[in-house]
């Protein structure tokens, strides 16, 4: 019980000391990098940052109190974004995590201007081209994305 209370207090302190963590994020893709952070087994400098989508940011575990917590965020480059889980799933009713026919039809309609994708849909639809078998998004949703998502749906390609 005491352990639970102490853990809760530590988490609350982290929250109070880290006002930027809860800042409003307006882009769908951010690269989170440490900025002079010490504690928690981290040291400031050149270690890789953490990528996240929207407000979902993966922090190192275990999370312990940081002496000077501070984070800066910047938009991820296309190459960085390739690693952040965009999957070609743009149909809100598709919860499988892999693209299905509905996703193809949505991106097909967008390709002729019949509908406008939301920022989140654009993010997940931008999967082409492939580099070494992995999505290497080029920052736009075009014919390449339509074709790649369709070919994944019919199991002619995977990533």
Residues at the contact surface with another protein, assessed by CB under 8 A: 104-105, 108-109, 111-114, 128-130, 138, 142-148, 150-151, 153-154, 156
Establish how many alpha carbons lie within 13 A of residue 105's alpha carbon, considering only the half-sphere containing its beta carbon. 7
Least gap, CB of 140 to another protein (angstroms) = 8
Closer residue to another protein (CB): 90 or 146: 146
Angstrom CA distances, 28 to 6, 18, 87, 158, stand at 34, 21, 14, 24
Q: Which is nearer to another protein, 35 or 142 (CB)?
A: 142
Q: Looking at beta carbons only, is 66 or 149 nearer to another protein?
A: 149
62 upstream amide cis, omega within 30 of 0? yes
Number of residues that make up the chain? 159
| CA–CA gap between residue 91 and residue 49 (Å, rounded) | 30
Distance in Å, CB of 41 to another protein, minimum: 41
Residue 32's nearest CA partner among 12, 55, 15 is: 55
Residue 127 beta carbon to another protein: minimum distance, rounded to whole angstroms: 8
Distance, in Å, from the CA atom of 85 to the CA atom of 104, rounded to the nearest integer, reads 18
Please report how close the Cβ of residue 7 comes to another protein at its closest, in angstroms: 47
CB of 94 to another protein, least distance (A): 17
User: Cβ closer to another protein: 66 or 148?
Assistant: 148
Give whichever of 25 and 153 is closer to another protein, judged by the CB atom.
153
């Amino acid at each position: 019980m005491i352990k639970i209370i102490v853990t809760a207090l530590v988490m609350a302190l982290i929250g109070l000391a880290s006002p930027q963590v809860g800042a409003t994020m307006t882009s769908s893709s951010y690269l989170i990098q440490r900025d002079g952070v010490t504690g928690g087994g981290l040291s400031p400098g050149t270690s890789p940052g953490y990528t996240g989508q929207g407000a979902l940011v993966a922090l190192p575990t275990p999370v312990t109190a940081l002496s000077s917590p501070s984070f800066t965020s910047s938009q991820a480059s296309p190459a960085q974004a390739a690693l952040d889980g965009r999957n070609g799933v743009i149909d809100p009713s598709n919860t499988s995590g892999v693209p299905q026919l509905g996703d193809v039809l949505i991106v097909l309609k967008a390709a002729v201007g019949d509908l406008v994708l939301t920022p989140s849909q654009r993010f997940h639809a931008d999967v082409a081209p492939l580099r070494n078998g992995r999505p290497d998004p080029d920052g736009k949703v075009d014919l390449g994305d339509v074709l790649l998502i369709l070919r994944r749906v019919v199991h002619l390609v995977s990533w």
